[in-house]
Amino acid sequence: MNWHEYVAQTGQVPKWPYELGYDKETVISCDVLVVGGGVAGCRAAIAARQGGASVVVMDRGFSKRSGEGGAGVDHWHGAVTNPCSKVTPRMYSEAAMDTTDGFTNGLARYIIGKEGYDTLLEVEKMGVQIRDEDDEFKGSIFRDDETKLMFAYDIENKHCLRIYGYDIKPCVDREMRRLGAKVLDRTCVTSLLTEGGRQGARVIGATGVNDRTGEFVVVKAKAVVISAGRTNRLWGFAPELTESQSMCNLNQTALGNTIGWRAGAEFIGMEMSGRAVLSGLGYAPYSTGNNNNTYQGAPTVDRNGKDVYYANAYGKLLYDEADIFKASDEGSFIIGHGIGLDNGYKPQYRITTTDPELWKKVMAGEYQQPFYNDMTKLPATSRRMIFGLMLAHEGKCRVPIYKNFTQWGFDPDKDMLQYPVQDYSRFPIDTSWCGPENTPANWRGGGGGYLVDWRLQTSLPGLFAAGCGPIFGHGCHGESHTSGRYSGRQAALYAGQNDAVEPDAEQIRRERERCYAPIRTNGDVGWKELNYAIAKIMQDYCGDYKTEHTLDMGIRRMNDLFETEGQRMYASNPHELVRVIESLSLCELGIAYMEAAKARRGSVKGLGFFRNDYPEYDEAQKKHIPISLKDGKVHTRDLSLYYHLEAPYSSDLEENYQRYSQA
């Protein structure tokens, strides 16, 4: 029953069901603290435990299903060392750098290439099926009959694997708990503790608030891994409209980045902010006809049953199913899709997509809407692979799509699934369910993350980063496991070599005061009202139009909001209190984004970044601009896009990996 029904039927407002402990403080010590118990965090915790460290995991939700990967996954990128793969880690990293003109993370992509497959094999041991064990797809072009591995996107190079990942999160969660990681569920991290309480000093722990009891927790650690999520809620905020349709959720506030920003860590790529394609204003993920990503290879027909073809990156129509899963250039490979390379994709690395002339043909009357997925046209194994494997295992698909559709009688052997009727002249049909037409132009998505070294350590000693949100330019689900595992190992090594430091009592006191202000102030502004206002500022001052002056104004507006309405917040229970804390942190994060946009005095294609006062695309802008807070002031510097291959590092990827991947 929902709350409305309960109160209407009983005439009573339910009491808060958990004991309140706003004045309670728990102190825990450990070697490694992992902030964020999503797939990256669980993997970090497991690796750190395996490295002999004692581990505490702070999770905003409940780690069995939390995080963006908690709802499942159907394919695994970067498994380039699997026995069938023709792609090497070097090719993988270099292609990612090449296709983005250097605006991605060359070292993370290399680490992922080196360890992605091993990371997957461990998942298999934890109970996740990664092979066609029952020979259901025997003889299919997507399968290697010896290893029983199955391939997505590129059947010649075989480096991206289809997997049965709907239960991946329960499996890694179980393993993490089995190995003895202490999990603090329902705990929202609020700050990092630094040595002496100073900005820019070594990170020695973190603080958090429990969203059921309101209790304060202090975790002391020798090393901290940030593996929190990306940001939702910053430019776009309309939960009533978006949550059912979004791949992101309200727990995703990039708080893991905000606490690092406040602690003085360096960030790169924060100026990147593209149109919010996954705004949540469209349709539930994969709920409408589509031929992209999880649906790659699904045939499309128009209302008269006329075939719509795929085309390669050069617009050449493809008539054979196998050709859909081949690179457009001989000798190249399809790097993947949805792995954070959206400002790049040179043709030789691109996936195949719908006939680019489709809309012209619609206007000429050659095709008519609506379009449909007609999977009956596929060989039975291919059809089963899309609907039975991919759609049943991808995130947010098992229950909302597979279970729900079949319950209501959808049968891929007989039925065609309708695409949304939309004006596809404005966006490719491949993004149909994302609903770009349903999204305002000024809703945007932020990029960027911690600057990391070859150990995935940030610029702050003792602070490591893992996963999509914290690490700039790093990828998707499989990549998060891999960087989490690597980062956890490194954190354990660090903890083994460094002593614990007692946190600064004053820093903890100040943080407590900050966190509980909304309980004491008896204010009149709710977390949603504040969040709406934050989003409005970001839309206006960090949208399409950017100049030094307007960015300055945006920063001023955000500070103003923080200092006025932000001091008049209320929270009627711990759940609301934590949403308030998150919303206040979004003010800081928004400022960080605007500072980063200010710091880049130029426009860069590779970042999808445009400054109206520096409209020229400038070769000199092909660099990173790390940004951080020092004594409360913004500090920037220039850094080569290939810093990971420059001094003090070796110019060779493998040499660096060999030097830094172990103790």
- Segment 293 to 312, residues that bind other proteins, using CB under 8 A: 303
Q: Which stretch binds other proteins (CB under 8 A): 436-444, 449-457, 464-472, 629-637?
A: 436-444
Supply the minimum distance, in Å, between the C-beta of residue 365 and other proteins. Answer: 7
Closer to other proteins at the Cβ: 407 or 662? 407
653 vs 224: CA distance, rounded Å:
26
Candidates 84, 553, 634, 639; binder of other proteins (CB under 8 A) is 553
Encode 63-84 in three state secondary structure: CCCCCCCCCCCCEECCCCCCCC
Compute how many other C-beta atoms are within 10 angstroms of the C-beta atom of residue 332.
20
Q: Which stretch binds other proteins (CB under 8 A): 104-112, 246-254, 513-521, 624-632?
A: 246-254
Residues 6+ apart with CB under 8 A from 4: none
Supply the minimum distance, in Å, between the C-beta of residue 128 and other proteins. Answer: 7
Candidates 85, 273, 288, 487; binder of other proteins (CB under 8 A) is 288
Closer to other proteins at the Cβ: 117 or 402? 402
Closer to other proteins at the Cβ: 344 or 395? 395
Q: What is the DSSP letter of 426?
A: S
Q: Interface with other proteins includes 380 (CB under 8 A)?
A: no
Q: Which stretch binds other proteins (CB under 8 A): 4-12, 316-324, 471-479, 642-650?
A: 4-12
Supply the minimum distance, in Å, between the C-beta of residue 97 and other proteins. Answer: 31
H or E, element range at 28: strand 25-35
Q: Which stretch binds other proteins (CB under 8 A): 380-388, 486-494, 511-519, 641-649?
A: 380-388
Q: Which stretch binds other proteins (CB under 8 A): 200-208, 317-325, 417-425, 623-631?
A: 417-425
Closer to other proteins at the Cβ: 240 or 320? 240
- Segment 55 to 94, residues that bind other proteins, using CB under 8 A: 60-62, 64-67, 70-71
Do the Cβ atoms of 534 and 234 come closer than 8 Å?
yes
436 vs 530: CA distance, rounded Å:
26
Closer to other proteins at the Cβ: 314 or 545? 545
Closer to other proteins at the Cβ: 498 or 573? 573
Backbone torsion region of residue 139, taken as left when φ is above 0, otherwise alpha when ψ lies between -120 and 50, otherwise beta:
left
Do the Cβ atoms of 145 and 159 come closer than 8 Å?
no
Supply the minimum distance, in Å, between the C-beta of residue 404 and other proteins. Answer: 6
Q: Interface with other proteins includes 212 (CB under 8 A)?
A: yes
Supply the minimum distance, in Å, between the C-beta of residue 112 and other proteins. Answer: 25
Supply the minimum distance, in Å, between the C-beta of residue 651 and other proteins. Answer: 40
Q: Interface with other proteins includes 250 (CB under 8 A)?
A: yes
Q: Interface with other proteins includes 388 (CB under 8 A)?
A: yes
- Segment 13 to 52, residues that bind other proteins, using CB under 8 A: 13-17
197 vs 190: CA distance, rounded Å:
14
Residues 6+ apart with CB under 8 A from 309: 317, 318, 319, 354, 355
**CB-count burial class (<10 Å; 0-12, 13-18, 19+) for 244:** middle
Q: Which stretch binds other proteins (CB under 8 A): 94-102, 176-184, 276-284, 622-630?
A: 276-284
Structure tokens at 112: 């992922």
Q: Interface with other proteins includes 238 (CB under 8 A)?
A: yes
**CB-count burial class (<10 Å; 0-12, 13-18, 19+) for 446:** buried
- Segment 555 to 614, residues that bind other proteins, using CB under 8 A: 572, 575, 612-613
Closer to other proteins at the Cβ: 53 or 126? 126
CA dihedral angle for residue 314, residue 316, residue 321, residue 322, rounded to 10 degrees: -60
Closer to other proteins at the Cβ: 120 or 491? 120
419 vs 435: CA distance, rounded Å:
11
Separation in Å, CA 17 to CA 210, 212, 214: 14, 8, 12
317 vs 190: CA distance, rounded Å:
52
- The amino acid at 475: G
Q: Which stretch binds other proteins (CB under 8 A): 190-198, 308-316, 491-499, 543-551?
A: 543-551
| Residue 454: closest CA among 486, 482, 422, 481 | 486
Do the Cβ atoms of 632 and 595 come closer than 8 Å?
no
Candidates 4, 505, 619, 648; binder of other proteins (CB under 8 A) is 4
Cis peptide preceding 299, ω within 30 of 0: no
**Maximum pairwise Cα distance, the chain:** 73
Q: Interface with other proteins includes 541 (CB under 8 A)?
A: yes
Supply the minimum distance, in Å, between the C-beta of residue 399 and other proteins. Answer: 2
Supply the minimum distance, in Å, between the C-beta of residue 506 and other proteins. Answer: 32
Binding-residue total with other proteins (CB under 8 A)? 118
**CB-count burial class (<10 Å; 0-12, 13-18, 19+) for 350:** buried
- Segment 352 to 371, residues that bind other proteins, using CB under 8 A: 362-363, 365, 368-370
Sign, CA torsion 423/425/426/428: positive
Q: Interface with other proteins includes 9 (CB under 8 A)?
A: yes
Per-residue binder mask for other proteins (CB under 8 A), 308-347, x = binder: ----------------------------------------
